């Protein structure tokens, strides 16, 4: 089993350097990956948690983490596609993948905060259809020398996006979400699955939907990665074994606090308990 750590860029830590410092600690302690959270506006449940305290930008934080680390994979948990543009994101992520030596893992999701969509001027009800096209566009821009696409939300011919990612044919795309549309999206368009707070039994229950969609799309073997995000206080070695038994390849843990000291102590204790090695 691999273990990842989600940094608290979303928990109101005043100094973003402290958030980055936790990622460096995680690498030194033997964690396999570090992940960032993504929202744009403090609204809805984000406002309820933070008020006016900072929610640091996902990709800026991850880039800074990349510059301070050498080994850990760098993940997004998850980028909300309707808040972004695939052409802009393709360039940003390809550049980050090159700067980091090919360590990027692209977690993508459709989002679940209507208030944020409204403030950003993007639709909520059709976010699934938009996100499907978004992933197709990313893939084309990263893998084709000149890309053409004709869809409802994006349409273009002869678009050249450069640089290409260092990882070939592209960085792994992990789709977030627990509901059937997200599961089918994993099978048709993703390389792996990145659900939140699912038990081993719930993972096993949902996997057939992913595999059926993958087989129908001519993509046997998907999901190649199953990376489950959960709270650090929930995970025991016995539970980790149960996740491994149903095919989970990585557990990504987080501490739901902005107390950097508490998280630092928790990282060290977790690494000791689970036998991580740097």
Average pLDDT per consecutive 10 residues, the chain (278 residues; last block may be shorter): 98 98 98 98 98 98 98 98 98 98 98 96 96 98 98 98 97 97 98 97 98 98 97 91 98 97 97 86
pLDDT at position 227, please?
98
pLDDT at position 278, please?
61
pLDDT at position 234, please?
87
> Would you call 199 exposed, middle or buried from its count of C-beta atoms within 10 A (0-12, 13-18, 19+)?
middle
**Residue 194 backbone phi and psi in degrees, to 5:** -130, 75
CA gap 152, 68 in Å, rounded: 41
**Exposure pattern of 16-50 as b/e (b: 16+ CB <10 Å)?**
bebbbbbbebbbebbbbbbbbbbbbbbbeebeeeb
**Using alpha carbons only, how large is the chain's radius of gyration in Å?**
18
- Total count of domains within the chain: 1
199 domain residue, yes or no: yes
Q: What is the CATH number of the domain that holds 32?
A: 3.20.20.30
278 domain residue, yes or no: no
CA gap 82, 127 in Å, rounded: 6
pLDDT at position 277, please?
77
First to last CA, the chain: 15
Q: Can you give the residue range of the structural domain that contains 186?
A: 2-273
pLDDT at position 173, please?
98
CA gap 180, 193 in Å, rounded: 12
What predicted TM-score, i.e. pTM, was given to this entire model?
0.97
DSSP notation for 259-278: -HHHHHHHHHHHHHHTT---
pLDDT at position 153, please?
97
Helical segments of 190-251, H only: 200-216, 237-245
89 domain residue, yes or no: yes
């Amino acid at each position: 089993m691999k273990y990842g750590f989600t940094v608290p860029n979303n928990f109101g830590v005043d100094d973003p350097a402290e958030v980055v410092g936790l990622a460096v600690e995680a690498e030194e302690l033997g964690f396999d990956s570090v992940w960032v959270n993504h929202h744009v506006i403090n609204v809805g449940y984000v406002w309820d948690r933070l008020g006016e305290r900072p929610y640091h930008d996902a990709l800026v934080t991850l880039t800074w983490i990349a510059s301070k680390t050498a080994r850990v994979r760098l993940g997004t948990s998850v980028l909300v596609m309707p808040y972004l543009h695939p052409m802009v994101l393709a360039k940003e992520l390809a550049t980050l993948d090159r700067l980091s030596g090919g360590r990027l893992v692209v977690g993508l999701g459709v989002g679940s905060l209507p208030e944020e969509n409204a403030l950003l001027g993007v639709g909520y009800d059709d976010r699934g259809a938009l996100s499907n096209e978004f992933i197709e566009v990313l893939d084309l821009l990263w893998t084709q020398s000149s890309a053409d696409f004709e869809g409802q939300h994006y349409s273009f011919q002869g678009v050249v996006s450069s640089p290409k990612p260092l990882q070939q044919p592209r960085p792994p795309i992990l789709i977030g979400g627990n509901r059937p549309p997200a599961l089918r999206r994993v099978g048709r368009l993703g390389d792996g699955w990145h659900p939140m707070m699912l038990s081993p039994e719930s993972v096993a229950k949902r996997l057939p939907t992913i595999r059926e969609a993958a087989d129908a799309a001519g993509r046997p073997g998907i999901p190649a990665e199953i990376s489950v995000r959960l709270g650090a206080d929930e995970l025991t070695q016995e539970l980790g074994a149960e996740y491994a038994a149903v095919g989970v390849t990585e557990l990504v843990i987080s501490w739901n606090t902005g107390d950097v000291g508490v998280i630092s102590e928790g990282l060290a204790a977790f690494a000791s308990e689970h036998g991580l090695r740097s």
